[in-house]
Amino acid sequence: MNLLRFIPIKLTLLLVLGILAGKYFRPEVALPVVLVIFLLSFLAYLLYQDKRAALGSTKHVLTFGILVALTTITIGVMAVSLTDSNNRPGHYSHLNSTGNRLWRLKVDKVLKSTSFSDRYIAEVVRLENRKASGKLLLSFSLHPTPNKLRVDDELLVYADIDPISPPVNPHQFDYRKYMSGLDVRDRMRLQEHNHTVLPDSRSTVYGIAASFRQYIIDKLKEADFGEEELGIIQALLLGQRNDISPETYENYKNAGAVHMLAVSGLHIGIILLLLRFLLQPLERLPWGKPLKLMLIVALLWGFAFLAGLSPSVVRAVTMFSFVAYALHLNRPGNTFNVLALSMFTILLVIDPMLLFQVGFQMSYAAVFAIVWLFPLLQRLWNPKNKVLRYFWQLLSVSLAAQLGVLPISLFYFHQFPGLFFISNLVIVPALGLILGTGILVIFLALLNRLPDVLVTVYDSMIRWMNSLVGWVARQEDFVFRDIAFDIVQLLLAYAILIFGVFFLAKPNFKKAIALFLAIIGFQLWLFNASYQTRQKQSLFVAHQTKNSGLIHQSGAHVWAMTNNAPRLERLMRDYRIAERTISLTRESFKNAYRFRGKKLLVIDSLGVYPKENLRPDYVLLTGSPRLNLQRLIDSLRPKKIIADGSNYRSYIERWKLTCSRRKMPFHYTGEMGAFYFER
Provide block-wise average pLDDT over 10 residues at a time, the chain (679 residues): 71 92 87 90 76 52 83 93 83 84 91 82 91 91 68 91 92 89 89 86 84 87 86 83 81 78 75 85 85 91 82 82 81 72 86 87 85 86 83 82 88 83 74 84 89 90 88 80 92 94 89 95 95 93 92 94 87 92 89 89 88 82 92 90 94 94 94 86
Q: Is residue 164 part of a domain?
A: yes
Q: Could you tell me if 511 and 541 lie in one domain?
A: no
| Within-domain flag for 388 | no
Residue 407 lies in a domain: no
**309 neighbors 206 (Cβ within 8 angstroms):** yes
Helix (H, G, I), strand (E, B) or coil at 479: strand
Has residue 447 been placed in a domain? yes
DSSP 8-state assignment for residue 347: I
Question: What interhelical angle do 311-329 and 288-306 show, nearest 10?
Answer: 170
Q: Is 279 within 8 Å of 295 (Cβ atoms)?
A: yes
Number of domains in the chain: 5
Strands 479-480 and 416-417: antiparallel
Residue 22 within a domain: yes
pTM of the predicted protein model: 0.86
Length reported for the chain = 679
Q: Report which DSSP code applies to 307.
A: T
Using CA atoms, how far residue 314 sits from 264, 309, 336, in Å, is 9, 6, 20
- Where are the strands (E) in 308-429, listed by range? 416-417
653 in the same domain as 608 = yes
pLDDT of the residue at 204: 85
Contacts 24+ apart (CB under 8 A), 5-10: 6/333, 6/336, 6/337, 6/340, 7/337, 8/337, 8/338, 8/340, 8/341, 8/344, 9/336, 9/337, 9/340, 10/69
39 and 134 both lie in a single domain: no
Instruction: For residue 621, tell me if it sits in a domain.
Output: yes
Sign, CA dihedral 644-647-650-656, equals negative
DSSP letters for 114-182: -SSEEEEEEEEEEETTEE-B-EEEEEEESTT-SS---TT-EEEEEE--EEPPPPSSTT---HHHHHHHT
Range of 232's domain?
A: 209-362+430-480
**What is the CATH number for 195?**
2.40.50
Q: From CA 209, how far away is CA 263, in angstroms rounded?
A: 15
Q: Are residues 284 and 221 in the same domain?
A: yes
What distance in Å separates the CA atoms of residue 84 and residue 503, rounded to the nearest whole number?
42
Domain boundary among 182, 202, 222: 202
Instruction: Count Cβ atoms within 10 A of the Cβ of residue 384 and give its class: 0-12 exposed, 13-18 middle, 19 or more buried.
Output: exposed
Rounded Cα gap, residues 456 and 444, in angstroms:
14
- Give 558's strand partners: 553, 584
Are residues 531 and 544 part of one domain? no
- The domain boundary, picked from 32, 65, 83, lies at 83
Q: Tell me, what's the pLDDT at 55?
A: 47
Per-residue pLDDT tens over the stretch 491-532? 999 999 999 998 988 889 999 999 999 999 999 999 999 999
From the CA atom positions of the chain, what is the Rg in Å? Answer: 29
Cross-strand pairs, 102: 158
Q: Which of 202, 236, 254 is the last residue of a domain?
A: 202
Q: What is the 3-state secondary structure (H, E, C) of 11-67?
A: HHHHHHHHHHHHHHHCCCCHHHHHHHHHHHHHHHHHHHCCHHHHHCCHHHHHHHHHH
Q: In what order do the strands lie in the sheet with 557-561?
A: 583-587, 557-561, 547-554, 537-544, 675-676
Query: CA 336 → CA 126, 312, 360, 400, distances in Å?
Result: 45, 21, 17, 15
Quick one: DSSP state of residue 349? I
Same domain, 178 and 107: yes
Asked if 62 and 143 sit in the same domain, the reply is no
| Distance of alpha carbon 647 from alpha carbon 669, whole angstroms | 10
- For residue 409, being part of any structural domain is answered with no
CB 207 within 8 A of CB 214: no
Q: Are 499 and 511 in contact (CB under 8 A)?
A: yes
Answer yes or no: do 476 and 526 share one domain.
no
**Whether 353 and 289 share a structural domain:** yes
Contact 151, 109 (CB under 8 A): yes
Both 29 and 135 in one domain: the answer is: no
Residues 18 and 130 grouped into a single domain: no
Answer whether residue 406 is part of any domain: no
Residue closest to 495 by CA, chosen among 526, 516, 524: 516
Per DSSP, the residues of 517-556 read: HHHHHHHHHHHHHHHHHHH-EEEEEEEETTEEEEEEEETT
Q: Which residues have C-beta within 8 Å of that of residue 558, sequence separation ≥ 6? A: 551, 552, 572, 575, 576, 579, 581, 583, 584, 585
What is the DSSP code string of 485-506? --HHHHHHHHHHHHHHHHHHHS
Residues 316 and 447 in one domain: yes
